[in-house]
């Protein structure tokens, strides 16, 4: 269960079995057992497996280093993300502080690393929350986009994630116009419209395909 929780995209059964040091037959049997206990594990041989959110987590027990990592990440988001997500990050820190045992609660405020209070951001004319909603719901976006040379195009894209770089935000996506994966800078999006049209394929499958084409190892791979 812990291994599956660390991955947001489908993981091949062979990779899971190798990491756990068990045979594929044992792995498949254990996956069926977990499903019978209520774990929402989706996938099948050849496609990989992913654990959907909602399965009961064990009681919250974190080390001081884990707390510091979560606090540092939340503070980074509070500075770099859009207003809505920034507020959510601060609320998350408050909730973390509230549920921690007293001896660990001080670790939240005594973190040894911090994030600058302000950073230079590129100008944006579109709502990041709308992009995040499209990604979560796996719905297509229609965008008006300005290319590097300044020419404008209308695109329908299937957004996969938002990549946060030092000064710009980039959305890797399948572009229906180019019939291939493309990366779109958020500061070059002039307008966007959410649609009710779902992705023709699951986002997890698309992400895996995109990463393979780019030669990118998943950030959560262990």
pLDDT of 136: 92
Cα angle 110, 113, 118 (rounded to 5 degrees) comes to: 110
Q: Is the pLDDT of residue 39 over 70?
A: yes
Compare 23 and 38 and report the one with higher pLDDT: 23
Is the separation of the CB atoms in 203 and 42 below 8 Å? Answer: no
* Residue carrying structure tokens 């989706």: 42
Two structure tokens written together for 7 = 């991955």
Least-confidence region, from 42-51, 59-68, 124-133, 154-163: 59-68
CATH of 2-51, one of 1.10.238.10, 3.40.1280.10, 1.10.10.10, 1.10.357.10: 1.10.10.10
Q: Which of 48-57, 146-155, 178-187 has the lowest mean pLDDT?
A: 48-57
Instruction: Give the domain ranges of the chain.
Output: 2-51, 64-109, 128-214
Residue 65: pLDDT over 60: yes
Same fold, 2-51 and 128-214: no
- What would the mean pLDDT of 64-72 be, rounded to a whole number? 84
Phi and psi of 142, rounded to 5°? -105, 130
pLDDT of residue 221: 47
- Give the percent of the chain with pLDDT over 90: 32
Q: What is the mean pLDDT of residues 66-94?
A: 85
Range 59-80 average pLDDT:
80
pLDDT tier for residue 218 given thresholds of 50, 70 and 90? low
Describe the crossing of helices 128-137 and 83-99 by its angle, rounded to 10 degrees: 70
Tell me the C-alpha distance between 186 and 81, whole Å.
12
Find the mean pLDDT for residues 47-70: 73
Instruction: Say if residues 31 and 48 touch (Cβ distance below 8 Å).
Output: no
CATH architecture of 128-214: Roll (2.30)
User: Once rounded to an integer, what is the mean pLDDT over residues 15-28?
Assistant: 86
The residue that leads in pLDDT, 175 or 115, is 175
Compare 129 and 97 and report the one with higher pLDDT: 129
Q: How confident is the model at residue 122 (pLDDT cuts 50, 70, 90)?
A: low
Q: Which residue has the tokens 């229609």?
A: 142
* pLDDT score for 222: 42
Lowest mean pLDDT: which of 36-45, 99-108, 160-169, 181-190?
99-108
Q: What is the mean pLDDT of the chain?
A: 83
Please report the pLDDT score of residue 61 as a whole number. Answer: 66
């Amino acid at each position: 269960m812990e291994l599956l929780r660390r991955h947001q995209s489908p993981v091949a059964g062979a990779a899971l079995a190798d990491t756990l040091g068990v045979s594929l037959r044992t792995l498949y049997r254990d996956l069926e057992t977990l499903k019978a206990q209520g774990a929402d594990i989706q996938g099948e041989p050849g496609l990989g497996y992913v654990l959907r959110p909602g399965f009961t987590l064990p009681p919250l027990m974190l080390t001081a280093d884990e707390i510091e990592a979560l606090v540092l990440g939340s503070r980074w988001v509070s500075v770099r993300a859009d207003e809505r997500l920034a507020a959510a990050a601060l609320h998350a820190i408050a909730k973390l502080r509230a549920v921690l045992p007293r001896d660990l609660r001080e670790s939240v405020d005594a973190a040894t690393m911090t994030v600058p209070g302000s950073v230079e951001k590129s100008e944006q004319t579109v709502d990041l929350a709308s992009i995040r909603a499209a990604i979560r719901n796996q719905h297509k976006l229609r965008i008006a986009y300005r290319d590097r040379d300044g020419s404008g195009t209308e695109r329908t894209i299937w957004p996969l994630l938002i990549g946060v770089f030092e000064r710009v935000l980039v959305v890797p996506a399948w572009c229906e116009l180019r019939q291939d994966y493309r990366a779109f800078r958020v500061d070059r999006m002039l307008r966007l419209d959410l649609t009710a049209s779902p992705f023709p394929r699951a986002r997890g499958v698309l992400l895996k395909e995109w990463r393979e084409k780019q030669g990118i190892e998943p950030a959560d791979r262990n």
